[in-house]
Amino acid sequence: MKKIVAIVCGGDSSEHDVSLRSAQGIESFLDKERFDVYIVEMCGLTWEVHLPDGTRAAVSREDFSFVVGDQRVQPDFAYITIHGTPGEDGRLQGYFDLIHMPYSTSGVLVEAMTFNKFTLNQYLKGFGVSVAESLVVRRGNEDLVTDDEILQHIGLPCFVKPNAGGSSFGVTKVKTLDQLRPAIRCAMNESDEVMVEAFMPGTELTCGCYKVTGKEVVFPVTEVVTHNEFFDYDAKYNGSVDEITPARISDELRDRVQALTSAIYDILGCSGIIRIDYIVTHVEDNGRQRERINMLEINTTPGMTATSFIPQQVRAAGLDIKDVLTEIIEDKL
């Protein structure tokens, strides 16, 4: 009997439609000889499965089952590819834990922590991971963090971004003081908390990783060269970027990035595929220049279209994405 896999997409963030594209990518990658596959789209309390005839059917919130024809279908596994809430912040993981359905991502705590950028940074700093200096501004308490405090601790230019959310919407590179408060208000449209983060000039890299029982795979590193001010929505999805895999970096730096990616995976206790974004800066150490690897953020439900970073890295590693996804699913079944 084939196992039934529900690819869970949509969600309640601005990246809803991006998530649908990832779901279509995963659906095309999965081994149909092993799995029967359905796409389930979530938007608020509307949960619907996309049926082969182009119609949709309601998904039960009691057990995540749905009716196809005259049969009730009960998925065996949930492949979560929601970018944002509720699939990337632990909420959906808690639901699946309650109904005892295995899923593709990390658990509730890891998802909640990695979704909150400021909390993640403070936690990993305790393990020696280098991150940018940052402050948090919370809705209703915006005046508790003054412009002078931001200038003193963070400086200009800086990035203002939603603290609990992705990095595609609501992100502004602030160059002058008069841009600061409008940028905070913009980010507040995506999250009740806003992170103001120091700008770090350098080389942007990203590296994916997954681990299953008895096996660890760290993918080749990708170099991200944006033609825009920073790696924003236009750069990500409209082609205003060069994505170079493998990255044009030294073997020594590549090995360090891959080792750090693996170490962070283990520190947090991640599961499934993750992708970690970095900025490599140059610092002076005893009169010599050295490269510092600074973590930007962790993506626990990374994009999975054919041109997304992870499929690129899988191909560069000489692997088949179908085999990778099969390993992840069967490791949890």
Average pLDDT over residues 210-222: 97
Distance from C-alpha of 108 to C-alpha of 131, rounded to nearest angstrom: 23
pLDDT of 175 reads 94
Give the pLDDT band (50/70/90) at residue 284: confident
Q: Which amino acid is at 7?
A: I
- pLDDT above 70: percentage of residues in the chain: 95
pLDDT of 306 reads 85
Q: How many CB atoms lie within 10 A of CB 312?
A: 20
Q: Which of 179-188, 226-235, 272-281 shows the lowest per-residue confidence on average (mean pLDDT)?
A: 226-235
Peptide bond into 75 cis (omega under 30): no
pTM for the full model?
A: 0.92
- pLDDT tens digits for range 37-80: 999 999 999 999 999 999 999 999 999 999 999 999 999 999 99
Give the pLDDT band (50/70/90) at residue 167: low
Q: Are the CB atoms for 47 and 40 separated by under 8 Å? A: yes
Distance from C-alpha of 288 to C-alpha of 304, rounded to nearest angstrom: 40
Residue 254: which residues within 8 A CB-CB, separation 6 or more?
Answer: 220, 221, 246, 247
Give the pLDDT band (50/70/90) at residue 238: low
